Each structure stands twice: as C-alpha cells, then as structure tokens.
Amino acid sequence: MEKQNLNILIDRVADLIINATRMVVFTGAGVSTESGIPDFRSPGGIWDRFDPDDFTYHKFVNDPETRRKQWQMLQEGALTTKAEPNPAHYAIAELNRLGKLDCVITQNVDSLHHKAGIPDDKIFELHGNMQWAVCLSCGRRYPFQQIEARLKEGEEIPDCEACRGILKPAAVLFGEPLPAKVLKEATERSYYSDLFIVIGSTLVIYPAAYMPIYATSSGAKLVIINLSSTPMDQEATVLIRAKAGETMSRVIKRVREKISS
C-alpha cells in the first residue's frame, strides 16, 4: 500500500488504469453525497431523523404505518430524482468513453451513473434504484416522479392504480434480498477484474462489500479512494484519502495526458 503525496498516487492510479484490461469501478455513498444526496449513516444523516428499524422489508409489507413513514421520508427529500451527476460520475463515464471501463458496481440508488452517460448494461445497482416504484402484487412499475406528484397532492400511502396492491420503491430495503441476477453478474465481474477501484465506500455493508474481496482474491489490483478508513485498506495497491470528485477529475486528466503523450 502506497502512502505518498497525492500527485504521485494519482499518477500511479492513472498507470494502473492504462494497463488494465478489465477494470471495475465500485461506488458508494461518498460519491452520491457530492451531488447533495444525504448519507444515511453519517452523523446528521437520514438515520438521525428516522429509525432504520422502521424500514425493514417485513415491516413495509405488513404495516401500513411503516409504509406511511417510508413515503414521508421520501417526500421530505431524503432521496430525490432531481440530483445531478458530479465530477466523479463524469470521470467514470469518461473512462468508459476511453474504452477502459468493464462496468460500474454501485451501492447507490440514485441512478446518477446512468445520468452521467454510462450505458445501462455496464451498471450493476446492487441495492436497486429510486427511479421506479413497483407494485408487489401485479409487478406494474411507475416512474418515481409520478409517485412524488401523488405525495405532493396529499396521498400518504400511494398504492397501485391497476390493482390497489402495495407500492414499494425499487430500492432494496433492510431484510430484502439483493436482486439475484445483478448480484450474480457483479460477483462474476469482480472475480474476473484485473483492476478494482473503490470510490466513496467504507466497505462495511454486505454482501456488497464482498466485491473487492472477490477481486483481490483473484489477483486484481485494488485502488481505494475514500475519506475514511475501510477494512480493505491494507490490501490496496493505492490508497487515497480524498474526495471522490476532485480526485477522479485529476485521475482522468492524468490518464488523458499519458494516453496522448
């Protein structure tokens, strides 16, 4: 693990990217916060105002009051469909345009990688997303903006217009299995990567946090860009303690310089 000045570390990351053939980028809440999306677990975050025990899948399905609280939280802007990508998202999208990105595996539910221009088939959202609400009875999907409009009109617990079934955000709740197909593909991409870059994740939420373990166990180089420590720090080839957007902007600039030289 390297602990040198930031310019040297960024230069090293650029070299790793240029030499990689199967690069996977893994993103967490530290990327989303730079787009103004609150971090659930940090001091002052969502769970300081709402009890996470109220947001299990079991309670959501079986308790109308839990559903009311969930929709209240969303109505108050805990998550938003209006957030825009930040420099970290655009830098990752640039890596794709340069032909260096195998895929993005993300813990985030904001779909900002899509907005930044990364193709849908290269994004694996382990925890679902907040762009849709899904009926648990008939499977009908609703754009989240449509549900937001109903909430603003005073509807406290929106249900399915087709069958009156329970509507649930397409994000994964506590106690709800991760989408099996997405998890399987993300696991395989991690195993077969030769460079795995973690950006903005503390790597403490499982099974998502297994992804860099799968990668390094198969011989991939590991880069971690995060403001706080992670359980994988000692495994990192390069460890950078800095913000995602500023760091990735500098990394992509250095990659371009090296490619064009």
Q: Which domains does the chain have, with CATH numbers?
A: 1-36+84-129+179-261 (3.40.50.1220), 38-78+132-169 (3.30.1600.10)
Q: What's the Cα-to-Cα distance from 237 to each of 81, 126, 234, rounded to whole Å?
A: 35, 25, 8
Across 222-247, average pLDDT: 96
Q: Coil, strand, or helix at residue 235?
A: helix
| CA geometry: angle 108, 203, 48, nearest 5 deg | 65
Interior/surface letters 147-184, b for 16+ CB within 10 angstroms, e for the rest? bbebbeeeeebbebeeeebbbbbbbbbeebebbeebbe
pLDDT in tens, 144-193: 889 988 998 989 999 999 999 999 999 998 889 999 999 999 999 999 99
Return the amino acid letter for 129: N
Between helix 244-260 and helix 87-97 the angle, nearest 10°, is 30
User: Would you say residue 235 has pLDDT above 50?
Assistant: yes
Tell me what pLDDT residue 2 has.
44
pLDDT in tens, 190-211: 999 999 999 999 999 999 999 9
Of 80, 142, 141, residue with least CA distance to 112: 80
Tell me what pLDDT residue 76 has.
67
Tell me what pLDDT residue 4 has.
55
Q: Where are the beta strands (DSSP E) in 156-246?
A: 167-169, 195-199, 221-225, 238-240
- Can you tell me which residue has the tokens 């809440």? 29
Tell me what pLDDT residue 152 has.
87
pLDDT in tens, 14-71: 999 999 999 999 999 999 988 887 665 555 555 555 666 767 899 999 999 989 988 8
Positions annotated as catalytic residues are 127
